[in-house]
Amino acid sequence: MSLILDHVTYEYGSDTELAVKALDNIELVIDDNEFLGLIGHTGSGKSTLVQHLNGLLKPTSGHIYFNGRDIHENDFDRRALRGEVGLVFQYPEHQLFELTVFKDVCFGPKNMGMKPEQCEVAAYEALEAVGLDEELYDQSPLDLSGGQKRRVAIAGVLAMHPKVLVLDEPTAGLDPKGRDEILDLVKELKKNLGMTIVLVSHSMDDVAEYADKIVVMDRGKIIYHDTPKNVFAHAKELEAMGLGVPQVTSVMKSLADAGIDVPQDITTVDEAADVLAALCK
């Protein structure tokens, strides 16, 4: 099972004079059980790309295949697809609208035709998985904090038991603790449930820490699609695109520039700690 984007181009307002080409001939294969990080400057097309993965947006040209089938064929069940490829929106407010948290999380499974009892079980399990305090289940989702809203939005998608979880900047606006909690949760979901994860992020540190592969977008095109080490070896090119490298990669480079014998392809704090500990011995 994989998701394939085959020469996908997307224009907003394609039949108007104000057409904006947001995706330009994207070719991408997302493998099963992969953790893919998607980075790029603001406006580079990340949100537009991820909204194609569950059929919310339809390519102006090109095709998207899920499990070998074109998702825009007439007889393809796109409602079922939205359960299998779960998208957590960039702004949780765009996703939460029911009167209570619990009802909100039940919405997805209900919409997919699950029986009421099954919906409730799925909602409880999902809310438990995201670690939301039970006292909040009957509150309005709009009264919650930013971090709590994101958990509810993730639970609403998890309750549909997706195979692919797509998160559009799920840590934006969270403090470091909230950020780590959400990302650790996502990592656990991949490990325990074998989910495929697509994580859109502005944080180089986060994608370096969690992703197996990284896609770098610039002006609607994919510039790099590689391992974190290979992507962050292009520090100058990334800088030219308004991106950076993980903080720890910069620190190790400064140490190397100062004449200390450390590798320059370090991308995670754990790796750096090992190298520095070995150096001190």
CB of 40 to Mg ion, least distance (A): 9
- Binding string, residues 70-99; x marks residues near Mg ion by CB under 5 A: --------------------x---------
Q: How far is CA 56 from the centre of its chain?
A: 16
Question: How many other β-carbons are positioned within 10 Å of the β-carbon of residue 53?
Answer: 22
Q: Which stretch binds ligand ATP (CB under 6 A): 42-50, 102-110, 238-246, 272-280?
A: 42-50
Binding residue (CB under 6 A) for ligand ATP from 44, 148, 171, 203: 44
- Alpha-carbon distance of 107 to 117, in angstroms, equals 13
CB of 145 to ligand ATP, least distance (A): 21
Give the list of residues 6+ apart from residue 195 with CB closer than 8 angstroms, or none. 33, 162, 163, 164, 165, 189
- Binding string, residues 87-106; x marks residues near ligand ATP by CB under 6 A: ---x----------------
Distances (CA, A) of 48 to 75, 91, 164, 199: 24, 14, 17, 13
Q: Work out whether 141 is an interface residue with ligand ATP (CB under 6 A).
A: no
Q: Which stretch binds ligand ATP (CB under 6 A): 35-43, 60-68, 77-85, 264-272?
A: 35-43
Q: Work out whether 46 is an interface residue with ligand ATP (CB under 6 A).
A: yes
- Alpha-carbon distance of 215 to 182, in angstroms, equals 21
- Alpha-carbon distance of 266 to 258, in angstroms, equals 16
Q: Work out whether 45 is an interface residue with ligand ATP (CB under 6 A).
A: yes
Q: Work out whether 43 is an interface residue with ligand ATP (CB under 6 A).
A: yes
Instruction: Give alpha helix (H) positions in the chain.
Output: 46-53, 78-84, 101-111, 116-129, 146-158, 176-193, 204-210, 228-232, 235-240, 247-257, 269-280
Q: Work out whether 44 is an interface residue with Mg ion (CB under 5 A).
A: no
Binding residue (CB under 5 A) for Mg ion from 4, 5, 39, 47: 47
Q: Work out whether 54 is an interface residue with Mg ion (CB under 5 A).
A: no
Number of residues that bind ligand ATP (CB under 6 A): 12
- Binding string, residues 119-138; x marks residues near ligand ATP by CB under 6 A: --------------------
What DSSP character marks residue 264? S
Side chain identity at 262, as an amino acid letter? V
Closest CB to Mg ion among residues 40, 156: 40
Q: Is 62 helix (H, G, I), strand (E, B) or coil?
A: strand
* Cross-strand bridge partners of residue 193: none
Chain residues binding ligand ATP by CB under 6 A are 12, 20, 22, 40, 42-48, 90
Binding site for Mg ion (CB under 5 A): 46-47, 90
